[in-house]
Structure 1
Amino acid sequence: MHPTPAQPYDGSRDREIETLAEFDEVVSAHGTLAHHRVQAVDLTDRTDVLLSVDTTGAVFLGCPMDPRAAAGVRAAGALVFPPVPGLPFDPYRGHVYSPEELFASLDEGYEATPDARAYAWFRRTRADGDVFGSMLRAVHDDSVSDALDELLAGAQVVGVMGGHAMARGTQEYAGAARLGRELTRAGFTVATGGGPGAMEAANLGAYAAPFGDRMLEEALLLLAKAPSFVPSVTEWARAAFEVRERWPGGGASVGVPTWFYGHEPPNPFAAHIAKYFANATREDGLLARSNAGVVFLPGAAGTVQEIFDNATPNYYESRGAPTPMVLVDRAHWTERLPAWPLLRSLARGRSMEARIALVDRIDEAPQALKRLAG
């Protein structure tokens, strides 16, 4: 008897299955896995099921399973992409990361965490040019994008962009935190670049949203003990987890960091962390998903790049109607880094002209967003 070849991929699929509970539910309700996608689910205890149901056209992505089951589903016409041993990450993951996952083993020092180990793997494989490593990075990033789309379906997302250098304990950091809190309380999902500085502050504000106002003021004092991730990421991260432990159950927000800037750790206040290897994919994806507008806090080269990455689709209306853009700190964006005059010149005479604003203070940003969206 010859094995049945895998079915040609024609773009059709049924349900994506991302947990063992979903797997059991589908099998119980429908009795088939034909044309389903099963993503990073441990199926080592489901051998009898796999050998008894129809798996024609199914795809198993990184699912541990008994060798008999793997051979059986392949013979029945499924594609099996086995787990890759020895990796510090799962390229087929079905969900975005959590802070607890990325910072596991922090008690042993940041270098022991999955986040730091993934960065070390990235540097090593990028340097040696191994095509297998680049393929694994691409598969991982596409899996993260798929998970992020599922997470944000139906959400009104406001992006908050700004530099990593903004230190805890400063007025600027506190202002960015209050911005994140106000946006979250207004019903928006705050999304940032997921790193330290202004990004962390906005995610912290979102975390503080369900609590009374005093909580944020006390949290800011606790965090000021470790103002920067330099020189110690370990102490910086421990201070954040101390806040989370003291006030559990904070509000949810999204961080979208990258291992490309691996010297910058992700911040622990974003409940959902979509971390990428490819910075270009991360940048474009974060801005494209900020469907309710973007606030640009003072920053340097990275933030300037984000302003014009966002301005381009607004200029051409390639994503539909332009989304609001609010730049904060008039002196910064007209004198130190004069991005505002160029942005205003680009917008002149186009529909995006009514969707851009420059404000002096962070606390003016929410009202500006509301005005531009109206």
Structure 2
Amino acid sequence: MTDEDYQRGATTLRGKLVPRTTTDQRLLDEHTDADWLHTDPWRVLRIQAEFVEGFGALAELGPAVAVFGSARLTSDSEHYARGVEVGRRLVEAGYAVITGGGPGAMEAANKGAREAGGTSVGLGIELPFETGLNRYVDLGVNFRYFFVRKTMFVKYSQGYVVLPGGFGTLDELFEAVTLAQTQKVTSFPLVLLGRDFWTPMLDFVRGTLLGEGMISERDVERLQVVDDPEEAVRLVVEARLP
């Protein structure tokens, strides 16, 4: 895989064939004519195929934990080092490691999982600024649609460990909190790794959201923040114990 590769589902594109828009964008953009009447029903078949392929690839994965974090972390970052350790410790605790398959924090967790001899999974997505799966992914599935990919993360993970990240990381985190809050998923540990990074956000959650009655104390308690990768994995393991 080169820096010029563009991954669209199972297809790799290069050079002039790299599209200017993503599949998600074309699905969600406002239409100016009735062409969608003729094309959107066919998209349903592609979406269905992505679900079938994802379910088929991951059905026998076994216990797994998803690790999220910024794609922009560099390999000399302390957060990257924590990601490697988290991946390793999850494998030692008997879990496969699932990430978004990209660089940065995702690469770190995949690296730790592979070096520990475990199953390192990457669920890639078609994006205009990220290309292909990192080299530490052993089992990779590429998706066109974010919502299909999100389903795979929730369905095949027994919990999330979340390293510092941006909008994408926050999106995955708060979607999981919402699913737990509404009891769409149960017994789903959410561990935030990096106290200095996450504390300001948790201060807002507790001081403003809880303070103004927008959420409950139980919702705040779903978010556990730690500094130590060993403790992060311990919390995940303990949440699965009967």
TM (norm. structure 1) is: 0.52
**Bigger Rg, which one:** 1
2:99 aligned partner? 192
2:217 aligned partner? 348
Q: Which runs of 5+ in 1 are unaligned?
A: 1-102, 211-250
How far off its partner does 1:184 sit? 1.5
More contact order relative to length (CA 8 Å, sep ≥ 6): 2
Greater fraction strand: 2
Structure 2 residue 18 is the aligned partner of structure 1 residue 149: no
Contact 1:175–1:363 (CA<8 Å) still a contact in 2? no
How far apart are the structure 1 equivalents of 2:203 and 2:175? 14
The alignment of Structure 1 onto Structure 2 pairs a total of residues equal to 221
- State which of 313, 326, 348 in structure 1 corresponds to 2:179: 313
| Cα shift readout 1:333-368 (whole Å, capped 9, x = no counterpart) | 122xx0465279445246x94x54111233421112
Structure 2 residue 225 is the aligned partner of structure 1 residue 358: yes
Contact 1:144–1:274 (CA<8 Å) still a contact in 2? no
Secondary structure (helix, strand or coil) at the match of 1:256 reads: strand
Q: 1:112 to 1:332 in 2, by over 3 A?
A: closer
Structure 2 residue 166 is the aligned partner of structure 1 residue 300: yes
How far apart are the structure 2 equivalents of 1:308 and 1:267? 25
Q: Which runs of 5+ in 2 are unaligned?
A: none
| Cα shift readout 1:28-72 (whole Å, capped 9, x = no counterpart) | xxxxxxxxxxxxxxxxxxxxxxxxxxxxxxxxxxxxxxxxxxxxx
Structure 2 residue 150 is the aligned partner of structure 1 residue 283: yes
Secondary structure (helix, strand or coil) at the match of 1:262 reads: coil
Q: Output aligned runs, 1:193-272, within 5 Å.
A: 193-210=100-117, 251-259=118-126, 261-265=127-131, 266-272=133-139
2:87 aligned partner? 180
Identity %: 29
How far apart are the structure 1 equivalents of 2:170 and 2:40? 28
How far off its partner does 1:134 sit? 5.9
1:110 aligned partner? 4
How far apart are the structure 2 equivalents of 1:180 and 1:111? 26
**Counterpart residue identity of residue 75, structure 2:** R
How large is the Cα RMSD of the aligned pairs? 3.2
Q: Output aligned runs, 1:23-102, within 5 Å.
A: none
How far off its partner does 1:199 sit? 0.7
**Counterpart residue identity of residue 162, structure 1:** G
Contact 1:296–1:325 (CA<8 Å) still a contact in 2? yes
TM (norm. structure 2) is: 0.76
